């Protein structure tokens, strides 16, 4: 059937901010959907609150609403745009839930809007576990014994009836929040409580636990003619019991016989048909009992999912693109397979390699939390690797994580396990944690048998035996004297098992470059194979490659000059989608400018790893060995123009100094080092007469003490060469300082990445309390011209990591002369560093004086936000400048335009993962903890701020009670916001000290609240929050430990979903937002309209 | 192409070091696995198969007689071998080429590991090969004879050149049953020609019929004397043009009794109806080929294993029912005049997807309708 002609405009719903369980994969899917629908001639309307996404580029849709993803906002967009259809299956659970809400509220019916992709009935059947179970039973598929509960009594009755252990899963949630395995009645009570609260419909499923069974997923597509295909099968290395997002997973399935696989395939088709997903992709999870093959269906997602992104990257089959086409009426056989160009999409990819995905956790950001993995997803990102065999892909995947590991052990990081005895190690391996893969290898290396290990971990013996191959090869390598003693066959054998040069160098006590040179001397070089969906049966056109050690290379070179763009690797806190945005923009801009672009990255969620984003894609770890391999492969014909290292965050930047001379484009490696080198940087600032907070470097505790003795407390302590404020802290006295240095010196998380050394000292600066922080993004070209991209004022004061702070463009209360000074300093720094390309400078403004905190000659996290707010494609401009263009030239070309500011204000707000980690204090600090960001855009700062809060999940109240609890140093500053709330008609509650201060200053306080836990004093703040008596909390931290009062208050807010502001600045902004909101209410407008209006104003 | 071609191997590090040499002289390095072939030389026509699971069914499919199977999926042997998955009494293929043979299988259904199975059945193998390079080479140059083993390169080269390939050879004689036998207990009576029949086909037929399996050389008169409700023409190895006797028998059966042919059986049916066959460049061997069923335009994902095919339009009075969406090859025909139909791929699916199993139901309907009344059936 051809494309539907009855539809003209389609609303695509995105997935909002990056959160645990919902990451860049939906930027990938949404971007593909928007592109396809636009190409098909539909008018595309996009709603997504996440400014860091590619899809929210104004080019990808006709109308781009960077507005909060809330039902009332969506309804307003529908009312304004009157789309013919809504496509909700490419924006994760968020989009699906919103579509259901629109249906429930009658919005779809009122405006005559159809749901396409999945219908309401199908979504409800798939998402409601009771209905799902009934549906599966109806078609003869087994599901684990289970029952539903809507309150505690019901929960315990069901648990008793099924028998423990049981697994608890709340209905209508994403990523497994609130799920867990209860081994006993007492456990169940805990989990049921959390689960009932987590479910928006207060419903939980209690299910017989099948922990330890083998876990599989099938990615299935169906078209409107009922043709079904399996795109990919995935097998989890971690058995049932660990969330699939936290599991090491492998494609295709490895240990299913064809009889079992086809049985599963039949079941998957029966499932998608029964659920009634009319068109598009679905993901169906199965568990298989390894003892007898019994198969049960676990769950089904009636939409594109994280696994779909993985399956797309694993096979080359563009699920999202095809799902979008199917949604508008095409059938699979009408769509061509991009990769072969000749065969239709109605086939099942077959692959001739193994794909391994390894999750990336952020426990180093959340110290003190248990690292035990379970049914609730905790990872923040993932890396994928492709190899011809499982051992090769596993080692490459682990090297891709950038966790300081170079493969599966055989590196300095393995020392941590050396101290553990065999029994303890085996016991540890039985519990799933981020270290499990390394423990498995260590166990096997010590002679623990595959059988023993399989019995205690339930990891399938096949995987363990494959790891044994790595262990055996290591033994052989250990017996080899060194690189010179290796034969060609021996090199090939080691490299085919995925050993990195760095691992081999460590093993032999030599350096990586010697290993590489010796190996290449014997002709053992990486060969690049192609991901082609068909195992080479047909000629593939798509330039999507991975390295391995084989006879033959498949890569077809083009004939234009080439630029290699190094990506940012797996998502983590501090380095996420923003950098992928920059890399993708660079690729687009450089392709437009006539270059062949070559992308190197290993993150399967991203747009950068789509095979059609760049001229060629190398799906490889972004580390020295693999990047050099790509450079060798691309450099042979003399057309390699250069390598871009400054758009992918810290990952590629760290490689700058090690790449072949002259290849790094833009700012020189020497200048990059200069900006990182404390002393050189200090003297540069001194020479430019730009004030810095006093400070120095230290490599030992004694040196650090000497520094603080000179500069005084409080001081900011941070390691060099890290992003996202890793291990950064504010210290108030010598004890704090000693703790911080200890954390940095090798015992803490940073130790894994090499710890402290003279080359990597700690930076210690005087901390400027109550200063305003400002970020400036700029671009300098080779002629020396500097363009200021954006000056962004933070809402939270200095000391809160810039990534966790709300920030505002244009600045909302910086005097014009201060802005001039900021711009001037930025220009001077750019010149002094001879930056060619992007530059981000962070400043603190205290009492009108501007201090420079740091400068990074690379694209910053704020680039996409600034681009969305101003309409200036900063990343594209930066990429062009680095490859030789001048700003003047780009202006002439029309790529560089003046910023569209003047008629709107944009606020970027951070989105924090605390709902996943209820035991963790939500207090903000210098260590970045946010996983994502949202943007609010409107005509005033207050409105934009209010929108940013809704988008971040904390809707500001319009009436009710505000609870105030202020630290002493914040009391005076807090007066203003308190007055404002009273004027807006709110009543105030406060703790005794705060209440006394407010009343003494003439602000009425309705109730004084007892200290937390002090029952003699009546209700405490936690009670108020729990009972819904408080609509907003302003709690600025006083103590610094989690035991403090504030920690309980903030935790209660997280649990009961009450907006909690932890800084006075945020309270001030919130009061302003509520005030403006009460005047105007909700108004939605697209980016295109905001920009057009600003341009008109500019033209006048 | 950066083929690694060691000129000589004076001191192999491992006695199992082996080479694959194609008839055009291309060589590949690997290690010998499976059975040790006589004098370290195994030969056959090398073809590639793209299934990711189902290696045992492929290896035991008699249609691979005379061929060496290169699996494109790198890990082969992961879930071992189960007696329940054999497609025939033993493997007939000339060898197996893989990238990585699994030594430790893991699956509750497994009875032994694949290497032990290969040794037990005398099937030589080669592991560690750059199978993607081999596949690309076959795709470009076509299926061709090869030799592999631990023998010297010159010996292997000579053996590859001496290997006859499959054209014009009657490979069926080597795989067909010598004596008739009966399987199944269904109400209908089917006579199944064994040109190399797969057990999964017999299981399907056996559900609807009592199936008498007869040798390939059985005459039409002999078959009709068994008073069948339908005659089934099985899959099998090699060139249909070399099987004049079978074409003749099929010709005599048409119109007398409903006939259903699969794969080689489909080609023989086509030949008996006057059609001609040709050899594909590298054949269809895999489990993911899309086929359009013209009756309702639906697409089925099919299991395929054939090197020869019917020439489209060469068969008078015959309707095209199924067509391959990748390359347009004839995948199904029906001749209404004589109540016969043929399917080029493997609807029984052993291994492979189950999308086309309805074709056995169609055969049952055709048989129940008899030789002349089944004309209106939509296949």
Q: Which string of b and e fits A378-413 if b means at least 16 CB within 10 Å?
A: bbbbbbbbbbbbbbbbbbbbbbbbbbebbbbbbbbb
B105 touches chain A (CB under 8 A): yes
B136 touches chain A (CB under 8 A): yes
Which residues are bridge partners to A236 per DSSP? Answer: A249
Rg (CA), chain A: 28
- Is A259's CB within 8 Å of B84's CB? yes
Interface of B with A in 313-342 (CB under 8 A): 325-326
- Is B50's CB within 8 Å of A350's CB? yes
> What is the reported pLDDT for A364?
82
Question: Residue B363, Cα to own-chain centre: how many angstroms?
Answer: 21
pLDDT band at A176 (very low <50, low <70, confident <90, very high): low
Average pLDDT over residues B373-378: 48
A225 touches chain B (CB under 8 A): yes
User: Which residues of chain B neighbour A462 with C-beta distances below 8 Å?
Assistant: 78-79, 102, 104-106
A661 touches chain B (CB under 8 A): no
Average pLDDT over residues A664-682: 90
A237-262 confidence digits (pLDDT tens) = 999 989 999 999 999 999 999 999 99
Residue A692 burial (CB count, 10 A): 17
B11 touches chain A (CB under 8 A): no
Q: Specify whether the CB–CB gap between A256 and A362 falls below 8 A.
A: no
Q: Specify whether the CB–CB gap between B324 and B290 falls below 8 A.
A: yes
* d(C-alpha A20, C-alpha A243), whole Å: 12
- Is A536's CB within 8 Å of B132's CB? yes
Strands (E), A536-631: 544-548, 562-566, 596-601, 616-619
pLDDT band at A541 (very low <50, low <70, confident <90, very high): confident
B96-124 confidence digits (pLDDT tens) = 999 999 999 999 999 999 999 999 999 99
pLDDT band at B246 (very low <50, low <70, confident <90, very high): very high
State the count of interchain CB pairs (< 8 A) between A and B.
183
B299 touches chain A (CB under 8 A): yes
Q: Which is it for strands A640-644 and A729-731: parallel, antiparallel or unpaired? A: unpaired
- Is A535's CB within 8 Å of B72's CB? yes
pLDDT band at B5 (very low <50, low <70, confident <90, very high): very low
Tokens of B253: 């059966």
Instruction: Indicate the length of chain A as a whole number.
Output: 1100
- Is A290's CB within 8 Å of B354's CB? no
A828-870 confidence digits (pLDDT tens) = 999 999 999 999 999 999 999 999 999 999 999 999 999 999 9
> What is the reported pLDDT for B6?
41
pLDDT band at A749 (very low <50, low <70, confident <90, very high): very low
- Does the bond joining B268 to the residue before it have cis omega, within 30 degrees of 0? no
| DSSP letter assigned to residue B179 | S
Average pLDDT over residues B275-291: 94
Three-class DSSP category at A1033: strand
Taking alpha carbons only, the member of A712, A670, A677 closest to residue A695 is: A712
Distance of residue B33 Cα from the nearest chain A Cα, in angstroms? 17
* d(C-alpha A723, C-alpha A736), whole Å: 22
Q: Specify whether the CB–CB gap between A204 and A194 falls below 8 A.
A: no
A212 touches chain B (CB under 8 A): no
The helix or strand, by DSSP H or E, that contains position A276, with its residue range, turns out to be none
Q: Please list the active-site residues of B.
A: 263, 346, 348
Q: Which of A179-183, A531-535, A681-685, B300-304 has the lowest mean pLDDT?
A: A179-183
| DSSP letter assigned to residue A1011 | P
Nearest chain B residue to A352, by CA:
B73
Average pLDDT over residues A628-645: 95
A294-316 confidence digits (pLDDT tens) = 999 999 999 999 999 999 999 99
Average pLDDT over residues A374-378: 87
Share of chain A above pLDDT 90, in %: 72
* pLDDT of A189 over the 70 cut: yes
- Is A551's CB within 8 Å of B2's CB? yes
* pLDDT of A140 over the 90 cut: yes
DSSP output for A732-773? -SHHHHHHHHHIIIIISGGGGGT---SSS-EEEEE--TTPEE
Average pLDDT over residues A660-687: 91
Which residue's structure tokens are 């015992």? A747
Phi, psi (degrees; rounded to nearest 5) at B166: -120, -15
Nearest chain A residue to B286, by CA:
A350
Q: Specify whether the CB–CB gap between A382 and A398 falls below 8 A.
A: no
> What is the reported pLDDT for A1038?
57
Partner residue facing B74 (CB), from A253, A343, A354: A354
Q: Where are the alpha helices (DSSP H) in B165-254?
A: 199-208, 220-225, 244-253
Q: What ipTM was assigned to the predicted interfaces of this complex?
A: 0.95
> What is the reported pLDDT for A915?
78
A906 contacts: CB under 8 Å, gap ≥ 6: A51, A808, A809, A865, A868, A869, A935, A936, A937, A944
> What is the reported pLDDT for A1050?
79
A576-587 confidence digits (pLDDT tens) = 899 999 999 999
User: Which residues of chain A neighbour B131 with C-beta distances below 8 Å?
Assistant: 352
Average pLDDT over residues A638-650: 95
Return mean pLDDT, chain A. Answer: 91
* pLDDT of A710 over the 70 cut: yes
Average pLDDT over residues B10-33: 87
Share of chain A above pLDDT 70, in %: 96
DSSP output for A806-840? -EEES-SS--HHHHHHHHHHHHHHHHHTT--EEEE
User: Which residues of chain A neighbour B56 with C-beta distances below 8 Å?
Assistant: 257-258
Distance of residue B379 Cα from the nearest chain A Cα, in angstroms? 17
The helix or strand, by DSSP H or E, that contains position A71, with its residue range, turns out to be helix A71-81
A535 touches chain B (CB under 8 A): yes
B132 contacts: CB under 8 Å, gap ≥ 6: A352, A388, A529, A535, A536, A550, A552, A554, B72
- Does the bond joining A974 to the residue before it have cis omega, within 30 degrees of 0? no
- Integer angstrom CA distances of residue A827 from A667, A785, A824, A831, A852: 15, 9, 5, 6, 13
Average pLDDT over residues A149-170: 91
User: Which residues of chain A neighbour B290 with C-beta distances below 8 Å?
Assistant: 333, 343-344, 346-347
Nearest chain A residue to B100, by CA:
A389
Tokens of B311: 């020439």
- For helices A669-676 and A678-688, the axis angle rounded to 10 degrees is 90
- For helices A488-496 and A461-479, the axis angle rounded to 10 degrees is 150
Average pLDDT over residues B242-265: 97
pLDDT band at A175 (very low <50, low <70, confident <90, very high): low
Tokens of A831: 């010149």
Partner residue facing B82 (CB), from A257, A529, A538: A257
> What is the reported pLDDT for A607?
96
* pLDDT of B242 over the 50 cut: yes
> What is the reported pLDDT for A457?
96
A325-334 confidence digits (pLDDT tens) = 999 999 999 9
Average pLDDT over residues A979-995: 93
* d(C-alpha A858, C-alpha A840), whole Å: 7
Q: Is A816 exposed, middle or buried (0-12, 13-18, 19+ CB in 10 A)?
A: exposed
B115 touches chain A (CB under 8 A): no
> What is the reported pLDDT for A1027?
86
Q: Find the angle CA(A573)-CA(A578)-CA(A581) to the nearest 5 degrees.
A: 145
* Order of all β-strands in the sheet with A961-965: A1007-1009, A987-991, A961-965, A1032-1035, A1059-1061
B142 touches chain A (CB under 8 A): no
* d(C-alpha A984, C-alpha B151), whole Å: 92
User: Which residues of chain B neighbour A354 with C-beta distances below 8 Å?
Assistant: 74-75
A82-95 confidence digits (pLDDT tens) = 999 999 999 999 99
Q: Which is it for strands B319-324 and B298-310: parallel, antiparallel or unpaired? A: unpaired
Average pLDDT over residues A622-634: 97
A229 touches chain B (CB under 8 A): yes
Three-class DSSP category at A924: coil
A1024-1062 confidence digits (pLDDT tens) = 888 889 999 998 875 444 345 677 787 788 778 888 888
Partner residue facing B106 (CB), from A252, A291, A460: A460
- Is A258's CB within 8 Å of B131's CB? no
- For helices A577-592 and A874-882, the axis angle rounded to 10 degrees is 60
* pLDDT of A923 over the 90 cut: no
Which of A252, A258, A520 would best serve as a mutation to test chain B binding (most B beta carbons within 10 A)?
A258
B85 touches chain A (CB under 8 A): yes
Distance of residue B300 Cα from the nearest chain A Cα, in angstroms? 7
* d(C-alpha A961, C-alpha A957), whole Å: 9
Partner residue facing A348 (CB), from B48, B84, B288: B288
* d(C-alpha A417, C-alpha A425), whole Å: 8
Structure pTM?
Answer: 0.93
Q: Which residue has the higher pLDDT, A759 or B151?
A: B151
Q: Where are the alpha helices (DSSP H) in A350-460?
A: 390-400, 415-418, 422-429, 436-445, 450-457
> What is the reported pLDDT for B294?
96
Tokens of A410: 């055989």
Taking alpha carbons only, the member of A900, A893, A891, A902 closest to residue A868 is: A900
A487 touches chain B (CB under 8 A): yes
Average pLDDT over residues B79-83: 97
pLDDT band at A1015 (very low <50, low <70, confident <90, very high): low
> What is the reported pLDDT for B4?
41
User: Which residues of chain A neighbour B22 with C-beta distances below 8 Å?
Assistant: none
A254 touches chain B (CB under 8 A): yes
* pLDDT of A321 over the 60 cut: yes
* d(C-alpha A925, C-alpha A1084), whole Å: 33
Average pLDDT over residues A976-988: 95
| DSSP letter assigned to residue A895 | S
Return mean pLDDT, chain B. Answer: 93
Average pLDDT over residues A476-498: 96
Nearest chain B residue to A214, by CA:
B107
Partner residue facing A552 (CB), from B2, B292, B354: B2
Tokens of A93: 């659970």
> What is the reported pLDDT for A198?
81
Q: Which of A60-64, A516-520, A674-678, B329-333 has the lowest mean pLDDT?
A: A674-678
Interface of B with A in 233-272 (CB under 8 A): none
Taking alpha carbons only, the member of A983, A945, A982 closest to residue A1061 is: A945
């Amino acid at each position: 059937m051809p494309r539907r002609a009855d539809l003209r405009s389609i609303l695509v719903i995105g997935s909002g901010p990056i959160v645990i369980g919902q990451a860049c994969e939906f930027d990938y899917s949404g971007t593909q959907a928007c592109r396809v629908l636009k190409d098909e001639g539909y008018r595309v309307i996009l709603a997504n609150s996440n400014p860091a996404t590619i899809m929210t580029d104004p080019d990808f849709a006709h109308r781009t609403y960077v507005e909060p993803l809330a039902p009332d906002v969506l309804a307003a967009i529908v009312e304004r745009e009157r789309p013919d259809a809504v496509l909700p299956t490419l924006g994760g659970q968020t989009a699906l839930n919103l579509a259901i809400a629109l249906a429930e509220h009658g919005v779809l019916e009122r405006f005559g809007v159809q749901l396409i992709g999945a219908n309401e009935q199908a979504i409800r059947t798939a998402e409601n576990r009771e209905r799902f179970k009934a549906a599966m039973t109806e078609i003869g598929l087994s599901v684990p014994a289970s029952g539903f509960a809507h309150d505690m009594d019901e929960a315990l009755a069901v648990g008793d009836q099924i028998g423990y252990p049981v697994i608890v899963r709340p209905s209508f949630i994403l990523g497994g929040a609130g799920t867990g395995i209860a081994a006993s009645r007492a456990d169940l009570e805990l989990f049921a409580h959390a689960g009932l609260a987590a479910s928006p419909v207060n419903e939980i499923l209690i299910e017989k636990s099948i922990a330890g069974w083998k876990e599989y997923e099938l990615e299935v597509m169906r078209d409107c003619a009922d043709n079904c295909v399996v795109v990919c099968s995935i097998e989890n290395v971690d058995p049932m019991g660990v969330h699939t997002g936290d599991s090491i997973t492998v494609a295709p399935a490895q240990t299913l016989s064809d009889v079992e696989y086809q049985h599963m395939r039949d079941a998957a088709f029966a499932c998608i048909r029964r659920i009634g997903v009319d068109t598009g992709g679905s993901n169906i999870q199965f568990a298989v009992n390894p003892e007898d093959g019994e198969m049960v269906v676990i769950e089904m997602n009636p939409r594109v999912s994280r696994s779909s992104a993985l399956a797309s990257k694993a096979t080359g089959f563009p699920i999202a693109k095809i799902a979008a086409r199917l949604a508008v009426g095409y059938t699979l056989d009408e769509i061509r397979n991009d990769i072969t160009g000749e065969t239709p999409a109605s086939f099942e990819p077959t692959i001739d390699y193994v794909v391994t995905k390894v999750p990336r956790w952020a426990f180093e950001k959340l110290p003190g939390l248990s690292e035990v993995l379970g049914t609730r997803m905790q990872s923040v990102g993932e890396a994928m690797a492709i190899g011809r065999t499982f051992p090769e892909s596993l080692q490459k995947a682990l090297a891709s994580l950038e966790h300081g590991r170079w493969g599966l052990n055989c590196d300095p990081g393995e020392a941590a396990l050396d101290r553990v005895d065999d029994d303890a190690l085996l016991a540890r391996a039985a519990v799933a944690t981020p270290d499990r893969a390394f423990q498995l290898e260590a166990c096997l290396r010590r002679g623990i048998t595959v059988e023993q290990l399989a019995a205690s971990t339930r990891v399938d013996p096949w995987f363990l035996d494959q790891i044994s191959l790595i262990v055996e090869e290591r033994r052989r390598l250990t017996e080899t004297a060194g690189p010179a003693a290796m034969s060609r066959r021996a090199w090939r054998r080691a490299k085919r098992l995925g050993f990195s040069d760095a691992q081999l160098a460590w093993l032999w006590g030599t350096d990586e470059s010697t290993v590489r040179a010796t190996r290449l001397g014997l002709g053992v070089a990486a060969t690049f194979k192609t991901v082609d969906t068909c195992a080479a049966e047909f000629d593939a056109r798509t330039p999507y490659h991975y390295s391995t050690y084989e006879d033959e290379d498949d890569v077809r070179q083009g004939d234009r000059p080439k630029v290699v763009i190094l990506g940012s690797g797996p998502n983590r806190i501090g380095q996420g989608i923003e950098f992928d945005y920059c890399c993708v923009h660079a690729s687009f801009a450089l392709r437009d400018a006539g270059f062949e672009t070559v992308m190197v990255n290993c993150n399967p969620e991203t747009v950068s790893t789509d095979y059609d984003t760049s001229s060629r894609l190398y799906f490889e770890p972004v580390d020295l060995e693999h990047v050099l391999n790509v450079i060798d492969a691309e450099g042979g014909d003399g057309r390699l123009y250069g390598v871009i290292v400054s758009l992918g965050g810290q990952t590629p930047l760290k490689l700058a100094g090690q790449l072949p001379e002259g290849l790094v484009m833009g700012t020189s490696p020497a200048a990059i080092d200069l900006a990182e080198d404390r002393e050189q940087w200090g003297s540069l600032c001194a020479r430019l007469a730009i004030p810095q907070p006093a400070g120095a470097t230290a490599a030992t505790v004694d040196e650090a003490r000497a520094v603080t003795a000179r500069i005084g407390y409080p001081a900011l302590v941070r390691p060099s060469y890290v992003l996202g404020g890793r291990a950064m802290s504010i210290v108030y006295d010598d004890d704090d300082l000693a703790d911080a240095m200890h954390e940095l010196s090798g015992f803490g998380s940073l130790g894994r990445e090499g710890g402290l050394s003279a080359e990597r000292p700690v930076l210690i600066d005087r901390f400027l309390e109550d200063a305003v922080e400002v970020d400036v993004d700029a671009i300098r070209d080779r002629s020396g011209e500097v363009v200021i991209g954006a000056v962004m004022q933070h809402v939270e004061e200095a000391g809160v990591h810039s990534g966790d702070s709300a920030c505002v463009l244009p600045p909302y209360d910086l005097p014009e002369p201060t802005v001039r000074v900021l711009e001037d300093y930025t220009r001077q720094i750019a010149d002094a560093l001879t930056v060619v390309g992007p530059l981000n400078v962070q400043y603190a403004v205290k009492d009108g004086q501007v201090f420079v905190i740091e400068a990074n000659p690379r694209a910053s996290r704020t680039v996409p936000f600034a681009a969305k707010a101003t309409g200036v494609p900063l990343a594209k401009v930066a990429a062009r400048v680095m490859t030789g263009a001048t700003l003047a030239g780009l202006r002439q070309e029309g790529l560089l335009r003046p910023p569209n500011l003047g008629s709107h204000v944009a606020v970027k707000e951070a989105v924090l993962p605390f709902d996943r980690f209820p035991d963790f204090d939500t207090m903000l600090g210098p260590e970045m903890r946010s996983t994502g960001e949202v943007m609010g855009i409107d005509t005033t700062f207050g409105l934009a701020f209010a929108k940013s809060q809704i988008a971040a999940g904390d809707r500001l109240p319009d009436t009710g009670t505000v609870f105030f609890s202020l630290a002493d140093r914040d009391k005076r500053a807090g007066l203003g916001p308190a007055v404002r709330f009273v004027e807006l008609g709110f009543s105030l509650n406060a703790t005794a000290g705060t209440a006394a201060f407010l009343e003494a200053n003439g602000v009425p306080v309705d109730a004084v609240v007892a200290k937390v836990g002090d029952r003699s004093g009546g209700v405490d703040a936690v009670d108020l929050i729990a009972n819904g008596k408080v609509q907003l909390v302003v709690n600025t931290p006083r103590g610094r430990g989690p035991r403090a009062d504030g920690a309980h208050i903030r935790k209660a807010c997280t649990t009961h979903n009450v907006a909690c502001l932890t800084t006075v600045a945020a309270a001030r902004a919130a009061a302003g937002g509520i005030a403006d909101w009460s005047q105007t209410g909700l108004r939605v407008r697209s980016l295109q309209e905001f920009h057009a209006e600003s341009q008109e104003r500019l033209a006048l | 192409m950066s083929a690694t071609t060691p000129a000589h191997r004076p001191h192999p590090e491992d006695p199992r070091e082996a080479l694959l040499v194609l008839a055009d002289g291309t060589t590949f390095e690997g290690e010998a696995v499976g059975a040790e072939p006589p004098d370290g030389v195994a030969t056959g026509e090398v073809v590639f198969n793209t299934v990711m699971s189902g290696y045992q069914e492929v290896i035991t499919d008699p249609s691979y007689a005379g061929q060496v199977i290169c699996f494109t999926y790198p890990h082969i042997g992961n879930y071992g071998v189960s007696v329940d998955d054999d497609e025939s009494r033993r493997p007939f293929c000339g060898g197996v080429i893989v990238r990585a043979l699994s030594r430790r299988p893991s699956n509750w259904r497994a009875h032994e590991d694949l290497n032990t199975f290969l040794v037990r059945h005398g099937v030589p193998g080669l592991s560690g090969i750059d199978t993607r390079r081999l596949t690309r080479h076959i795709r470009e140059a076509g299926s061709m004879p090869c030799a592999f083993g631990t023998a010297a390169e010159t010996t292997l080269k000579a053996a590859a050149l001496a290997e006859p390939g499959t054209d014009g050879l009657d490979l069926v004689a080597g795989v067909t049953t010598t004596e008739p036998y009966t399987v199944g207990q269904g109400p209908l009576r089917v006579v199944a020609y064994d040109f190399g029949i797969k057990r999964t086909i017999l299981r399907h037929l056996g559900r609807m019929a009592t199936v008498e399996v007869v040798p390939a050389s059985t005459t039409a008169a002999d078959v009709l004397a068994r008073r069948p409700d339908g005659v089934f023409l099985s899959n099998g190895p090699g060139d249909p043009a070399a099987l004049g006797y079978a074409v003749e028998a099929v010709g005599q059966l048409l119109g007398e009794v409903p006939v259903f042919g699969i794969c080689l059986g489909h080609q023989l049916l086509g030949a008996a109806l006057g059609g001609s066959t040709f050899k594909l460049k590298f054949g269809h061997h895999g489990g993911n080929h899309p086929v359009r069923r013209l009756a309702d335009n639906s697409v089925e994902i099919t299991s395929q294993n054939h090197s020869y095919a019917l020439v489209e339009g060469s068969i008078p009075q015959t309707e095209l029912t199924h067509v391959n969406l990748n390359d347009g090859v004839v995948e199904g025909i029906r001749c209404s005049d004589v109540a016969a139909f043929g399917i080029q791929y493997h609807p029984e699916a052993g291994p492979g997807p189950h999308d086309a199993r309805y074709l056995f139901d169609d055969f049952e309907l055709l048989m129940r309708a008899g030789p002349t009344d089944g004309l209106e059936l939509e296949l």
